[in-house]
């Protein structure tokens, strides 16, 4: 009886510590991700439920990836959906390292593919931490004998509900123990180690132990902001987007013929992509009035409306602002077989946010790597990724502004900001050159399209997208 | 050449009219749903693309239900996902009436099930219109000969990409023409008729015609707000929630025993539901400090964290405020096999919004019917729906407020609003009685739980949920 009450006292004190840690997160405007991995899935689930009881449950959400919804998406996609807003807590069960351990034990991942996975996990954790999110990871390790008994008991009492899965049995194997340990070491972000908690039969004691570890980790995270060593771009490739050569042009007749042919071709390719379940992401960037909208409408003009979605990129909503800037784009990753076209995109981080000072230098400087990682995750999942910069000259932009003002069909496109942005032409150009140099990758290449002649630019855009799809599908 | 240029002039004028209609929507803070149905799916897709070109594309989205994502969800679910915010336009292809026509032609819907579907479509359209959304519906009807030629041509030129589906061929049948006409009449909300546009070979002319119809309908919608005849509750059942009888209680030992048994039982049932793909929605309502949160934590305490999600209901975000109040709940409808628990819910419309005057009388008065329709749609899709009112006495509430203030573990639950709300105890009680009387339905019953004894209330909550799942699953 004395022990019981000591345990209860300790749990009560822990409850207060966790509430205090949660208040501090709110005050500091930081989110927290609490990851519950390990070999005992039932224990992780119980612990998650206990934590929602201890924390103020209104700002806690449990993230448990659903295989159905995640099918054909990047591995990290379900975790991104639940990236917490500032002041919020996400508790992850069915976490990335446990699932990676299972895949490695089954040899679905090995060698290069396993190394790539572990690298992506490190990058993800570091990205969260760099954004100010507290990343707390608890690995529940249950002694083999205890675990086997727990699994046997569960089987016995509850034959109807498949409590115990093949994965549970796999994780309970002795050989998995060493594997998990190795992967934990290799798959953790810098200064973001897994904390091992020994599981056992006594639930309340285990949850107390895990809770104490979590409280300590939250406090530790609140004391430091990880140093972010991201280099500013240097030795930038000058002149990439500046050329004295006149932009190529296309006459009306040639335009009409090529457009009809290309739209039919893209129509065929997009139906093929839908059949084969291949997703595509097309990003359009470029100065104001570069003709992005017009190019997008021609791109999609003959597509089945069910096969594509165009995403404009207005200023972020409060919901979006409270999270990592990539969250709202992860949310829009296309389903298998679908095309997503982004009219401006995540590159805003290294363009407008850099130029206008909305993002600090450390923030935009590390964004190049984060963006490359994001696009690599898409490409790994089989998504075709391509990025087009529609390049226009400063003189052409002015002509278009004037023409927009004169046209009743286009006047709505002009805002007060347009001339203001124009004054920063050179800074924007410099940012664009850095962006292209640092995010042009084999799996997600940049294509610069000469844009002073709209007809030429639209045809070139369609051609580029057709080629990318055809390379994969034909 | 003369005709061509007359056509172009007319299209140019239409473009301006549509832009003006869109500006007016923004100014009036109204959304618009433009539905493109009919027997020619390709034409609807082309028209949707043309409309995004005419409108300012940044505030237009195309809604095209995706069979994969919508599997196991209510029929209207994909349309609800894309309900437009104020000032926004959603263009629907793959609309509710065309899909209903296909289902009826295949005799998947007939008799009562068909009548129920048509009724639900009428209710949905009327709900949108009553909320101020412009509902514009265009039915593209292509002469059979033309349609057959179009389908044949598409087959010929594009064998690779299954342009033509079985559904297209079905809609092209002469027998479908009369069926569609009958369903259009029966499946339309009051004063929300389908406008038939004759399709044909000449795309530009067809789109002009359809565009003119849409512009006219948008203007007409902007002139009127549909009269909303919703009756205030009358003859309310007094005393339902007021009883002099003491609340039942449960001692600690009995509580512990029953709780363990019930949690194990619900664990088994929830795994069974996951296996069978049966979704469940549980709503908890009740006065402040009724013990909703505690009841929810016991309810979910032994569930697999992957099987359920708890949704708190804070004040709506700006995104949510800009749409019909049910939108944010349609977004949280559980996937097949999952349990969603709502800590407060859509009933806020007829509780806090009514009592505080956030909703106009016409708005909350019609909400009872809208809510019953919503829950009926869930039930039709096979979702178990049940609603619990945890009832506490005014004196007990005060005791709990005081005890919360004294407890370091619970202090965070008290806000300045709590005492203010308490002053409206009687108005809240009246609203709750009306709510229960008007939304207690066979497919989504209310259960009133005596709440002055927390232990009793928690056990009663678990029992009620177990019974509902067991009735369906065992």
In CATH, which superfamily holds the domain spanning A2-223? Answer: P-loop containing nucleotide triphosphate hydrolases (3.40.50.300)
Is the pLDDT reported for residue A132 higher than 90?
yes
**Contact at 8 Å (CB) between B64 and B166?**
no
For A192-250, write each residue's pLDDT tens digit. 999 999 987 688 999 999 999 999 999 999 887 655 566 666 665 667 787 767 889 99
**Contact at 8 Å (CB) between B140 and B38?**
yes
What does the DSSP 8-state code read for residue B314? Answer: -
Q: Could you tell me what percent of chain A has a pLDDT over 90?
A: 77
pLDDT, residue A468, reads 97
The token pair that represents A300 in the structure block:
């999609």
The helix (run of H) or strand (run of E) holding residue B38 is strand B32-38
**Cα distance between residue B180 and residue B330, in whole Å:** 28
Q: Is B241 helix (H, G, I), strand (E, B) or coil?
A: coil
**Contact at 8 Å (CB) between A461 and A298?**
yes
Q: Could you tell me what percent of chain A has a pLDDT over 70?
A: 94
Q: Which residue of B has its CA nearest to A274?
A: B161
Q: Do domains B2-223 and B252-473 have the same CATH topology?
A: yes
Chain A residues inside the 8 Å CB shell of B304 = 42, 45
Give residues with Cβ within 8 angstroms of A52, minimum separation 6: A60, A62, A91, B297, B300, B310
How far is the alpha carbon of A445 from chain B, nearest alpha carbon, in Å?
A: 26
Is the pLDDT reported for residue B121 higher than 60?
yes
Give residues with Cβ within 8 angstroms of A270, minimum separation 6: A280, A303, A304, A307, A308, A339, A469
pLDDT, residue A412, reads 85
How far is the alpha carbon of B133 from chain A, nearest alpha carbon, in Å?
A: 22
Is the pLDDT reported for residue A150 higher than 50?
yes
| Whole-prediction pTM | 0.90
- B305, B310, B469, best to mutate vs chain A, most A CBs in 10 Å: B305
How far is the alpha carbon of A332 from chain B, nearest alpha carbon, in Å?
A: 13
Is the pLDDT reported for residue A70 higher than 90?
no
A161 closest CB neighbour out of B15, B160, B272: B272
CB contact (8 A) between residue A335 and residue B12? no
- B70, B304, B411, best to mutate vs chain A, most A CBs in 10 Å: B304
For B162-191, write each residue's pLDDT tens digit. 578 889 889 988 888 899 999 999 999 999
Q: Which residue has the tokens 């659903």?
A: A66
| Mean pLDDT across B407-433 | 91
The token pair that represents A161 in the structure block:
């509900």
**Contact at 8 Å (CB) between A83 and A327?**
yes
Q: Which residue of B has its CA nearest to A18?
A: B409
CB contact (8 A) between residue A46 and residue B296? no
Give residues with Cβ within 8 angstroms of A17, minimum separation 6: A212, A215
Q: Which residue of B has its CA nearest to A95?
A: B306
pLDDT, residue B247, reads 86
- A10, A89, A306, A321, best to mutate vs chain B, most B CBs in 10 Å: A306
Q: Is B236 helix (H, G, I), strand (E, B) or coil?
A: coil
A49 closest CB neighbour out of B19, B69, B305: B305
Q: What are the boundaries of each domain within chain B?
A: 2-223, 252-473
**Cα distance between residue B233 and residue A203, in whole Å:** 51
Q: Which residue has the tokens 């006495």?
A: B393
**Which is it for the CA torsion A255, A259, A260, A261, positive or negative?**
positive
A49 closest CB neighbour out of B163, B300, B335: B300
Is the pLDDT reported for residue B159 higher than 50?
no
Write down the mean pLDDT value for chain A.
Answer: 91
**Cα distance between residue B453 and residue B255, in whole Å:** 11
Write down the mean pLDDT value for chain B.
Answer: 91
Q: Which residue of A has its CA nearest to B270?
A: A161
CB contact (8 A) between residue A64 and residue B412? no
Chain B residues inside the 8 Å CB shell of A303 = 45, 49
CB contact (8 A) between residue B306 and residue A412? no
CB contact (8 A) between residue B69 and residue A335? yes
**A2 vs A408 pLDDT, higher one:** A408
- Other Cβ atoms within 10 Å of A2 Cβ, number: 6
Q: Which residue of B has its CA nearest to A297?
A: B53
Q: Which residue of B has its CA nearest to A312?
A: B58
Give residues with Cβ within 8 angstroms of A322, minimum separation 6: A85, A86, A87
Q: Which residue of B has its CA nearest to A159?
A: B268
Give residues with Cβ within 8 angstroms of A119, minimum separation 6: none
B412 closest CB neighbour out of A12, A56, A300: A56
| Mean pLDDT across B433-453 | 96
Is the pLDDT reported for residue B161 higher than 60?
no
**A253 vs A236 pLDDT, higher one:** A253
**Cα distance between residue B244 and residue A293, in whole Å:** 68
How far is the alpha carbon of A464 from chain B, nearest alpha carbon, in Å?
A: 20
Chain A residues inside the 8 Å CB shell of B42 = 304
Strands A134-141 and A89-93: unpaired
pLDDT, residue B256, reads 95
A271 closest CB neighbour out of B48, B163, B413: B163
CB contact (8 A) between residue A62 and residue B305? yes
pLDDT, residue A71, reads 85
Is the pLDDT reported for residue B108 higher than 90?
yes
B335 closest CB neighbour out of A66, A160, A306: A66
b/e per residue, B159-170, with b = 16+ CB within 10 A? Answer: eebebbeebbee
The pLDDT confidence band at residue A1, using thresholds 50, 70 and 90, is very low
One-letter-per-residue 3-state SS of B68-85 = HHHCCCCCCHHHHHCCCC
| Mean pLDDT across B61-79 | 90
The helix (run of H) or strand (run of E) holding residue B319 is helix B318-321
**Contact at 8 Å (CB) between A198 and A142?**
yes
| Mean pLDDT across B400-418 | 89
CB contact (8 A) between residue A317 and residue B314? no
Q: Which residue of A has its CA nearest to B159?
A: A268
CB contact (8 A) between residue B49 and residue A408? no
Chain A residues inside the 8 Å CB shell of B466 = none
pLDDT, residue B258, reads 96
Q: What are phi and psi of A143, to 5 degrees?
A: -55, 140
User: How many pairs of residues across A and B have Cβ atoms under 8 Å apart?
Assistant: 141
Fold of domain A252-473 = Rossmann fold (3.40.50)
């Amino acid at each position: 009886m004395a022990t019981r009450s000591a345990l209860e006292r300790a749990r009560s004190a822990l409850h207060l510590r966790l509430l205090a840690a949660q208040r501090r997160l709110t005050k500091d405007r930081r989110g927290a991700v609490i990851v519950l991995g390990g070999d005992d899935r039932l224990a992780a689930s119980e612990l998650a439920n206990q934590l929602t009881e201890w924390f103020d449950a209104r700002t806690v959400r449990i993230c448990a990836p659903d295989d159905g919804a995640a099918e054909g998406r990047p591995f990290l996609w379900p975790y991104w959906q639940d990236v917490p807003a500032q002041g919020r807590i996400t508790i992850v069960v069915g976490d990335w390292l446990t699932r990676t351990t299972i895949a490695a034990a089954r040899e679905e991942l090995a060698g290069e593919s396993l190394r790539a996975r572990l690298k992506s996990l490190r990058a993800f954790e570091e990205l969260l931490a760099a954004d100010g999110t507290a990343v707390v990871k608890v690995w529940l390790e249950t002694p083999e004998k205890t675990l086997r008994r727990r699994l046997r008991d569960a089987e016995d009492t509850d034959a109807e509900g498949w409590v115990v899965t093949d994965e549970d049995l796999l994780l309970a194997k002795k050989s998995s123990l060493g594997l998990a340990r190795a992967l934990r070491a290799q798959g953790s972000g810098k200064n973001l180690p897994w904390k091992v908690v020994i599981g056992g039969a006594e639930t309340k004691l285990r949850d107390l132990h895990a809770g104490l570890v979590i409280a300590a980790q939250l406090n530790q995270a609140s004391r430091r902001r990880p140093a972010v060593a991201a280099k500013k771009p240097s030795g930038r490739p000058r002149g990439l987007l500046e050329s004295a050569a006149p932009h190529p042009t296309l006459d009306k007749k040639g335009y009409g013929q090529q457009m009809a042919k290309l739209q039919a071709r893209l129509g065929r390719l997009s139906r093929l992509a839908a059949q084969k379940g291949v997703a595509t992401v097309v990003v359009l960037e470029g100065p104001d009035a570069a003709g992005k909208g017009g190019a997008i409408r021609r791109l999609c003009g003959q597509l089945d409306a069910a096969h594509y979605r165009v995403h404009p990129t207005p200023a972020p909503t409060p919901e979006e602002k409270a999270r990592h800037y990539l969250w709202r784009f992860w949310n829009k990753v296309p389903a298998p077989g679908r095309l997503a076209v982004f009219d401006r995109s995540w590159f805003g981080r290294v363009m407008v946010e850099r130029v206008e000072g909305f993002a600090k230098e450390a923030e935009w400087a590390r964004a190049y790597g984060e963006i490359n990682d994001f696009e690599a995750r898409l490409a790994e999942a089989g998504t075709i990724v391509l990025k087009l910069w529609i390049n226009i000259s400063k003189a052409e932009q002015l002509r278009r502004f004037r023409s927009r003002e004169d046209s009743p069909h286009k006047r709505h496109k002009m805002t007060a900001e347009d001339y203001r942005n124009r004054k920063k032409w050179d800074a924007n150009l410099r940012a664009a050159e850095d962006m292209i140099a640092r995010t042009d990758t084999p799996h997600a290449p940049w294509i610069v399209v000469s844009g002073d002649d709209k007809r030429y630019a639209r045809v070139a855009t369609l051609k580029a997208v057709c080629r990318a799809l055809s390379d994969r599908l034909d």
